[in-house]
Amino acid sequence: MLKLTLSVWDTGGQERFEFFKTDFFRGIAAVGLVFDLSRPDTFDKIGEYFKEIRENSGNIPIFLVGNKKDLIEDIGEVITREKIIQKLNQFYLFEYIETSALENVNVNKLFYRLAITALLDIKPRLGEIIDSNHFRFKILLAGAAAVGKSSLIRTFTKKSFEQDYKLTIACDFMTQDIEISDQDVPIETLDAIKKAVKSYKKLIKKLRKKEEITELTE
């Protein structure tokens, strides 16, 4: 069993906080790029956020997330499936998931998929490896304002939907521990994890030795 501590960040999405965002994109392992299934304007902004993520975080996994699935039954399909698949293929996004924070539809699936995907590219970076079976990753939800990023995070971490919605100012984050069975992780990834942990232990040993030498010479 693998334990993962997810630090889940939410950018506000408001244009006046645009200058804050570059800091939030640093050190993230995977991104959920969220749009509102009932608002085509939020879908049209996907390209802008995609470009910003790639410029600041490189070739990390990005999931496309269509939120507020619960509204589709009442208002019908506002954004066609064809357009969504085109966007997915256009930007080579990792996967498309439809969610509803209100009805808790696919919320756990979204964050578990983000977590497993983060494991696929694990490296012996400081802060990500806690021990042989415990890892910490920074996950980011990005997208236009009021698409439900905060609601998704709160539904995931608090297991409930908060009716009193407050627009996120600049950013917000919450931490949640999850457990993933080894059987749900590809064998190749488990091998990569073992190699990363081994390299990490060597790195820590080297740094400690360096600190000891420094102390002796001071």
The domain segmentation of the chain, as residue ranges, is 2-217
Phi, psi at 135, each rounded to 5°: -135, 150
For position 32, what pLDDT does the model report?
A: 96
pLDDT band at 216 (very low <50, low <70, confident <90, very high): very low
Residues 209, 35: Cα–Cα separation, whole Å: 48
Residue pointed to by tokens 């499936």:
81
pLDDT in tens, 154-173: 999 988 776 655 554 445 67
Residues 183, 11: Cα–Cα separation, whole Å: 33
Answer yes or no: is pLDDT of 29 > 70: yes
Residue pointed to by tokens 């085109």:
86
Answer yes or no: is pLDDT of 20 > 70: no
Mean of pLDDT over the chain: 84
- CA dist list (Å): 78 to 37, 47, 71, 152: 7, 18, 10, 21
Beta pairing, strands 30-36 & 129-131: unpaired
In contact, 4 and 176? CB cutoff 8 Å: no
Question: Topology of 2-217 in CATH?
Answer: Rossmann fold (3.40.50)
Identify the bridge partners of residue 140 per DSSP, sorted by sequence position. 9, 31
For position 191, what pLDDT does the model report?
A: 87
pLDDT in tens, 174-209: 889 999 998 888 888 888 888 888 888 887 777 777
pLDDT in tens, 39-73: 999 999 999 999 988 988 888 999 999 999 999 98
CB-based contacts of 189, cutoff 8 Å, min separation 6: 116, 119, 120, 122
Beta pairing, strands 134-143 & 129-131: antiparallel
Residues 164, 140: Cα–Cα separation, whole Å: 23
For position 71, what pLDDT does the model report?
A: 94
Q: pTM of the predicted model, to two decimals?
A: 0.85
* Residue of higher predicted confidence among 129 and 68: 68
For position 167, what pLDDT does the model report?
A: 53
